[in-house]
Amino acid sequence: MADLRVETADGIATVTLDRPDALNALTIPLKEALIDAFTTIAADREVRAIVLTGAGRAFCAGQDLQERLEPGAVPLDVELRDRYNPLVRAIRAAPQPVIAAINGVAAGAGASIAFACDLRIASDTARFVLAFGQIGLIPDSGATWTLQRLVGAAKAAEIALLNEPVSADEAARIGLVTRVVPAAELAREARALAVRVAALSPGAVAGTKEALEAGATSTFEEALELEARLQGEAGAHPDHGEGIAAFIEKRPPRFGRPAG
């Protein structure tokens, strides 16, 4: 698809939104290509980490507002159920960690998509703008769920209700991004993060994602039980033995593929 690039090398898939003239705003074909890309990559056992980024000066400006004005535009509830929700679900359900490399402004659903990722690293030129309020909408694509879990309810209410842009430095201060790097170093630093997580046991990483996701809404008892089940699976996988052997032999572990 012309507006989306997917490159895979050394176990890392890089997904790049590529409509720089429209600040990578999301059209129906682009959203569908993204859903396809995440679904395909999730099933690719050779891929151990995913980097999501934007071409040009923006990460993503959210819904393409030109498309919204076209005659016969899809009603918003349908658009959310058919495309935005499947997209953020696909990001969160991927067994591999998804790293948002936020190279510039992330607005509307572009911000929501960044919030849905597992890790966020930002260029010093990045900013988050919820933007929904200024066009008479409510935050969507999971932002009402993700944002308050990332920064706390009070800060999330401030960001969502005031529509104040959040600068890269402020995002780092409130824990919305892992760190901020100079723009010229973003791609390299995002890749370095991806290499770090890609070196871990893929099964353990997938289990960690699953447990964190479930733990966000479960009871303590449910979390304990899920940890017991997932740890049973992790403990029975050869990666556990390899991790212990590598520790004893004072060498880096060589983890294999996920079980199943």
Determine the Cα–Cα distance for residues 191 and 3; give it in Å rounded to an integer.
22
User: Does 144 participate in binding ligand T3D (rule CB under 6 A)?
Assistant: no
Q: For residues 38 and 255, which CB has a smaller minimum distance to ligand T3D in the complex?
A: 38
Min dist CB 75 to ligand T3D, Å, is 9
Q: Is 140 in the site for ligand T3D (CB under 6 A)?
A: yes
Which of 130, 150, 259, 147 lies closest to 205, judged by CA?
259
Q: Does 137 bind ligand T3D (CB under 6 A)?
A: yes
Instruction: Report the alpha-carbon distance of residue 5 to residue 30 in Å, rounded.
Output: 11
Asked if residue 55 binds ligand T3D (CB under 6 A), the reply is no
Q: Does 41 bind ligand T3D (CB under 6 A)?
A: no
183 touches ligand T3D by CB under 6 A: no
Cα(175)–Cα(107) distance, rounded to whole angstroms? 18
- CB contact at 8 A, 64 and 109: no
Angle at 22 between CA 19 and CA 24, to 5 degrees: 45
Contact call for residue 109 and ligand T3D (CB under 6 A): yes
Which part of the chain contacts ligand T3D (CB under 6 A), choosing from 29-37, 124-132, 217-225, 234-242? 124-132
Q: Based on the shown chain and the rule CB under 6 A, indicate whether residue 196 belongs to the binding site for ligand T3D.
A: no
Distances (CA, A) of 98 to 64, 75, 93, 164, 240: 23, 29, 10, 26, 23
Identified binder of ligand T3D from the candidate list 37, 107, 160, 206, rule CB under 6 A: 107
* Member of 79, 118, 189, 239 binding ligand T3D (CB under 6 A): 79
Should residue 76 be labelled a site residue for ligand T3D when binding is judged by CB under 6 A? yes
Contacting ligand T3D (CB under 6 A), which of 63, 96, 146, 201?
Answer: 63
Query: Rounded distance, CA 186 to CA 260, Å?
Result: 35
| Beta-ladder partners of 9 | 12
Polymer length in residues for the chain: 260
Name the residues that contact ligand T3D, by CB under 6 A.
22-23, 25, 61-66, 68, 76, 79, 84, 105, 107-109, 129, 131-132, 135, 137, 140
